[in-house]
Every structure is written in structure tokens, then in C-alpha cells.
Amino acid sequence: MKRLSLFLYFLFIAAGASTVVSEAAERTPEILVLKDLLQEVADKNLEILAARKQELAAEARIPQARAWDDPQIGVTQWSIPSNFNLGKADETWYTLSQTFPFLGKRTLRGNVTALEQTMANEDSREVTLRVIREAKQAYYDLFFARKALEIHHAQVDLARRFSQITQERFSIGAVGQQDVLRAQMELLHLSNDVEALEQERETSEARLNTLLNRPTDAPLGAPQAPAVPTTDLRLETLQREAEESRPENRMQILAIRRSEESIKLARRDLFPDVTAEVAYWDVHDGPNRWMASIKISLPWINKKKYDARIHEGEAERARAQAARQTAINQTAFRVKALLVRIETSKRLAKLYETGILPLAEQSLEAATIGYQAKRNDFLTLIDAQKNLKELELTYFRTLTEIEKSLAELDELTGKTF
């Protein structure tokens, strides 16, 4: 009686798993096109939008740096009585003054700020490339999560088929009840795995929705399946493109130029600025007067301050030069490592596609026929089923890793779509 109850319990679980599979098969989600997705990320991602605002802020600093100092006007009451009666002052002076920086200072300040604005552009570009790469990788993570569920449901269908075979053979006394229970146990085990796979899918969707600036549970379509890339990637070409296009490399070049302009500005600041002033004297008890004056700054008094600024600029230039070479070296290494990983994965995927998976399918078919013909036991059948599942997962995981590595390569070479 106890064995019969256990058998009925397993049969109930198998029926529930069948219902889940049927419902999943009936769903026909719309296709999630990668190019459209990336365009939406570029338009709506908050990190990208914030970086673009930073560009605008940096651009707005350029005219500020090149602008003249504000002119000044003043009113002076001259010779006020001791009782502070302003109306009894002897004279009222109306003054207008303007400071004129030494020739070339405003231009150099503008040059430094313009370079900083260009660096902000590269920083924005770096953010865009990084977020687009993350979106591509999240897209293919979602593809793999959905594919793993699809493979799993196919395995549930297969387990149901095996369960039916064992029940048919059990009904005619060809196998013992142990095979029936094993088939039901395998089906129950597969059913328990659904929750973990669904969690991975939901996590992938939430990540992608976050990059799209959507609610984390917003519905998404089904990603398109990747294929083994057929284009040949040349190391020298990729390294050259990455060296020229990678924002980090370009920013270090700009940092060197900014340091050079800052050094020029620090040296030019040793030259004096001129302040011109014009005043109109309203003499209350006599003829009115005009007054003009010229003042110059004395930067030589604080020469150590400007020398320190020059040394700071030289040190920053040396740092930027070293950082640029480091960035170039790291870029070349990353391109090489990614290319090796991609080419290795491509060969592995081709091997699975043309050899390993067809053989695994044939092995499962032979094991099924052999079990029905009493040439092998049920464990051989289950092992063939599990082997096919693992090989399929490995194949699609390899395709996913190829696409994720290509996304990193696109980021290094400055490509978005």
C-alpha cells in the first residue's frame, strides 16, 4: 500500500510538470531585437543621460574662462565732515575701472577649459560604451536563461516519455516497479529545478530593465539566438582601432595637452595684468575734474606660487604620459586576451554544433531503442538524457560567452551598434 501511494504521488507530480510545460509552450513572446534595445538604452539610460549633461556643463565653462573680468564702478564721497553728513562732502567721485589680463592669458585659459570639455566628451563616450556593453551582455544572459528553461522543459517532456515507456513495460511485466519509480524521481527532480531557472531569468530581465530605465518587472520579449560568428578578426587591426578609439587612451592624450597648456598659462601668469580706471570728480565748490589711473599687478612678489604651478603642470604631464602608455599596453593585452577567448570558443562551438551534439542525440536515441528492446537498463537511458542536456547547455553557454566577449571587444574599439 505504501509503494502504491508513493507511485500515485510521483504520477501527480509528473502531471503537474506536464501542465507547466504545456503552458510555457503556448506562450509566444515577441522578439527582442538587440539593435532596437541598444537604441533605447542609449536614449533612456540615466547614466548616459547624466554623462551628456556633464558634457554640456563642461562646454558652458569655456566662455567663462575666456571672458574679461567684470568692470567695476564706484562712488566716493570726498572730504566728509566729522559729523558724517554726506551731503556736506567737498567732492563726489564717479569711477569706472577694468582689469586687462596680459596678452594671451585669456586664450590659454580658454584652451585649458576647451581641453577639459573634450575630456568630458570622452568621459561621456566611455560611459555610453560601457553601458551599451553591459546591455549587450545582459541581453545574452537573458537569452541563455530562457534557453536553459527551454532545454529544461524539453527534458521534462523527454522524462515524461520515458515514464510512459516504463509504465507500459511495467504493465506487461517487462520491468520492475523500480524503473517506474526512477522515472518518476527523475521527473520530480527536473520539476524542482524550474524555480532556480526562473529566478535566473527574472534576474536577467531585471538587470536589462534597469539599464533601460524601466521597472524591474517590465515585460521583455525573447532575445534572438546568436550564431557562431563567421567574420575573421585580425589582431593588429583590432589593437590599432582600440588604441585610437578607446576613450581612456584618448583622455590621456588630452590630459597631456591640458598639462602643456596649463604650464604655458602658469608661465604667462608671471606677466603683470593692467587695471585702468577713469573717474569724474564732481567738485561741489569749484570746477569739476577728470581723473585717469593705470595700475599693474606684481606677480614677481609671489614668484614661488607660479613656480609651484609650473612644477605641478610638469608633474601632471609626466603622469599623463605614463598613464597613456600604460593604457595602450593594457588595451593591447585585453584585445589579445579577448581575441584568444573568442577564437577558442568559436572552435568549441563549431565542434559541439557539428560533432558532439549530433552524437549525443544519436546516443540518446540508441539508448531509448535499446531500453525498449531490453538491451540496456534504465540508468543508461537516464545518463544519456542528462548528458544531452549538459552538452546543450554547454553549447549555448559557449555561444553566449562569445557574444559577451565580442561586446567587450566593441567597447574597446569604440563601437556601440
Whether pLDDT at 44 is above 70: yes
User: Which residue has 608633474 as its cell numbers?
Assistant: 315
Confidence of residue 371 (pLDDT cuts 50, 70, 90): low
Residues in the chain: 417
Can you give the pLDDT at residue 378? Answer: 66
- Give the chain's mean pLDDT: 85
Rg (CA), the chain: 38
Confidence of residue 97 (pLDDT cuts 50, 70, 90): very high
Which residues, 6+ apart, have CB-to-CB distance to 250 below 8 Å? 122, 244
Can you give the pLDDT at residue 29? Answer: 61
Cell numbers for 138: 545582459
Phi, psi (rounded to 5 degrees) for 274: -115, 135
Per-residue pLDDT tens for 112-132?
A: 999 999 999 999 999 999 999
Can you give the pLDDT at residue 24? Answer: 42
Rounded to whole angstroms, how far apart are CA atoms 303 and 300?
5
Q: How many CB atoms lie within 10 A of CB 266?
A: 20
Query: Nearest to residue 142, comparing CAs of 219, 229, 40?
Result: 219
Confidence of residue 265 (pLDDT cuts 50, 70, 90): very high
Residue scoring higher pLDDT (281 or 374): 281
Whether pLDDT at 161 is above 90: no
| 2-67+103-270+302-413 to CATH, choices 1.20.1250.20, 1.20.1600.10, 1.10.1370.30, 3.40.50.10540 | 1.20.1600.10
State the average pLDDT over residues 234-254: 93
Which residues, 6+ apart, have CB-to-CB distance to 375 below 8 Å? none
Confidence of residue 282 (pLDDT cuts 50, 70, 90): confident
Name the maximum alpha-carbon separation found in the chain: 135
Whether pLDDT at 351 is above 80: yes
Confidence of residue 174 (pLDDT cuts 50, 70, 90): low
User: Which residue has 554640456 as its cell numbers?
Assistant: 56
State the average pLDDT over residues 360-371: 81
Taking CA atoms, 116 is separated from 57, 65, 106, 261, in Å, by 11, 11, 15, 11
Query: Nearest to residue 262, comparing CAs of 318, 320, 313?
Result: 313
Rounded to whole angstroms, how far apart are CA atoms 186 and 159?
7
Query: Nearest to residue 279, comparing CAs of 64, 74, 63?
Result: 74
Query: Nearest to residue 291, comparing CAs of 98, 94, 100, 99?
Result: 94
Cell numbers for 33: 531585437
Query: Nearest to residue 113, comparing CAs of 65, 177, 172, 157?
Result: 65
Confidence of residue 11 (pLDDT cuts 50, 70, 90): very low
State the average pLDDT over residues 12-21: 43
Confidence of residue 13 (pLDDT cuts 50, 70, 90): very low
Rounded to whole angstroms, how far apart are CA atoms 45 and 124?
12
Cell numbers for 157: 517532456
Q: What percent of the chain has pLDDT over 70?
A: 82
On the 0-12 / 13-18 / 19+ scale of CB atoms within 10 A, 39 is: middle
396 neighbors 228 (Cβ within 8 angstroms): no
Per-residue pLDDT tens for 215-230?
A: 999 999 999 999 988 8
Which residues, 6+ apart, have CB-to-CB distance to 368 below 8 Å? 162, 165, 381, 384
State the average pLDDT over residues 367-382: 72
State the average pLDDT over residues 395-409: 95
